[in-house]
Structure 1
Amino acid sequence: MIEVMKAFVKESPLNWSDVLQGPYYDEPIIQFASADDPLFEEYKSIIGPGHATPKELIERSFGSGTYNGGSVISIVLPIHESIRKANRQQKERASREWALLRTFGDEYFLKAARIHLTDYIINLGRLAAAPLDADWYGITSTDTGPISNWSERHVAYAAGLGTFSLNDGFISEKGIAIRLLSVVTDLQLPSDPRSAATHTGNCLLCSKGNCGVCITRCPVQAISKNGHDKIACMKFVYGQGSREWAAQSGGEATSGAGCGLCQTKVPCESRNPMRNAK
């Protein structure tokens, strides 16, 4: 399973940019959570009652009574150095390289990777479904910002891949400049432990009180020591200016250009900063 996805990331032509002359993503980290982990039920209180459990996902995909346990596969895809390097130089908006990542990495490659993994498992004669490709998947607007009914970050936390950060990103062992994907299956895979002391354990500011670089990197002041203004962030990341810059950069306007400034030129960009924290 792990080697299959590593090979796909390495070999897929969709993970290559002729414009950038390099890949969008580096070798992934892949871990597993039990589909019966009680944390998934807790997410209905933490995130919202509409957040699906693995059991609900399987039965929505394959019918009532088809769930007999299983696993959730969560994958961290580190963003390639050349894209991160370009974005480090930015102060007001995403780099051209990051804008291309939003369209061709995030929209095209991530979907292809989810399909590849689900098809691989189904060809083994087992059940598999990717929540983000389900017809019921959606994002709801609330007074505090958008909420999805399947959070890749919360799934990655359940699989022990890292923790949340001040800016609501996810800090893995390969840092915060990453993308995430997940697939639910009836395969019984060995669960990985959660080793972080708290759900923000990898964030220097939350754990040690001695960072906050992401606050200074945000071009719309959507991050403060009190947390992350999701609405201000969303308006900037998916607003008209972002869509125009995406198109000008060679991407698709509907994808937006993203931002990623708070994920680059920060101590957690490509590593877990708590590994060497004093």
Structure 2
Amino acid sequence: EWLHGRIEGQAFINKLSMHLKSALINEGYDSIVPALDERFWSKNLGDQHKAKFTSNWSERHAAFVCGLGTFGLSKGLITSKGVAGRFGSIITNLYLPPDRRGYENIYDYCSMCGKCAKNCPANAISVEKGKDHGLCFAFLKKTSEKYKPRYGCGKCQVDVPCESKMP
């Protein structure tokens, strides 16, 4: 179920984002979808800028800045609907009045219960250190060889108190 959300859900978000971008442009607003615009892809930075886990655009961080949620130990974004969600973003010059955020700090919605760490088959999450992206990536790489084209894990986002709500 989680993997379908990751694959088909992301494909839907990408199509919806492009549709919304086109609609905004048709209404006279400049708009881009950073995650789908190659000018935002880290592979275009050259070797001197490459880091292990470099991203020029983060949907989760954009959602945090927009007031949609805060981060958990697994680095997923916890919203009022929980952590098992997907995001898309559009940058536009259309003015939208800001909403008031329901939080002040980056981890306000995480109870630090450690359930995501217990669920992690790669032991990549700990209450003390958060998430080790290297361990997570190594596990995903190993499993992707067996299950391509479908691969992923998501065990840190299911069967946790924040799966479908704020804890």
Q: Give me the TM-score of the superposition, normalised by structure 2.
A: 0.88
SS at match of 2:89: strand
Question: How big is the shift at 1:114?
Answer: 1.1
Runs (5+) with no aligned partner, structure 2 = 43-48
1:228 correspondence with 2:122: no
Question: How big is the shift at 1:158?
Answer: 0.9
Does the Cα contact within 8 Å between 1:100 and 1:257 map onto a contact in 2? no
1:133 correspondence with 2:133: no
The residue aligned with 1:34 is none
Choose 1 or 2 for highest CA Rg. 1
Q: For 1:132 and 1:175, how far apart are their aligned partners in 2?
A: 23
Residue of 88, 103, 110 corresponding to 1:203 = 110
Q: 1:244 to 1:100 in 2, by over 3 A?
A: farther
Runs (5+) with no aligned partner, structure 1 = 1-82, 84-97, 206-210, 248-252, 274-278
Does the Cα contact within 8 Å between 1:159 and 1:193 map onto a contact in 2? no
The residue aligned with 1:185 is 92
Q: 1:113 to 1:183 in 2, by over 3 A?
A: same
Cα offsets for 1:138-158 (capped at 9, x unmatched): 24753xx41211111111111
The residue aligned with 1:3 is none
Cα offsets for 1:205-259 (capped at 9, x unmatched): 1xxxxx110010000100011110011112222x1422532x4xxxxx2xx4211
Q: For 1:137 and 1:243, how far apart are their aligned partners in 2?
A: 28
The residue aligned with 2:163 is 269
The residue aligned with 1:259 is 153
Residue of 160, 168, 172 corresponding to 2:75 = 168
Does the Cα contact within 8 Å between 1:157 and 1:194 map onto a contact in 2? no
Q: For 2:117 and 2:94, how far apart are their aligned partners in 1?
A: 41
Residue of 218, 229, 237 corresponding to 2:120 = 218
After TM superposition, the structure 1 = structure 2 runs for residues 234-245 of structure 1, keeping only pairs within 5 Å, are 234-237=137-140, 239-245=141-147
Q: From the two aligned structures, give the one with the greater strand fraction.
A: 1
Does the Cα contact within 8 Å between 2:74 and 2:130 map onto a contact in 1? yes
Does the Cα contact within 8 Å between 1:102 and 1:257 map onto a contact in 2? no
Question: How big is the shift at 1:112?
Answer: 0.4
Does the Cα contact within 8 Å between 1:176 and 1:271 map onto a contact in 2? yes
Does the Cα contact within 8 Å between 2:6 and 2:86 map onto a contact in 1? no
1:104 correspondence with 2:11: no
Q: Give me the TM-score of the superposition, normalised by structure 1.
A: 0.54
Letter in 1 for 2:4: L
- Same amino acid, percent of matched pairs: 39
Letter in 2 for 1:136: R
Q: For 2:120 and 2:20, how far apart are their aligned partners in 1?
A: 35
Q: For 1:216 and 1:182, how far apart are their aligned partners in 2?
A: 31
The residue aligned with 1:157 is 64
Q: For 1:147 and 1:170, how far apart are their aligned partners in 2?
A: 18
Letter in 2 for 1:137: F
Does the Cα contact within 8 Å between 1:152 and 1:182 map onto a contact in 2? yes
Question: How big is the shift at 1:168?
Answer: 0.8
Q: 1:244 to 1:109 in 2, by over 3 A?
A: farther
Letter in 1 for 2:79: S
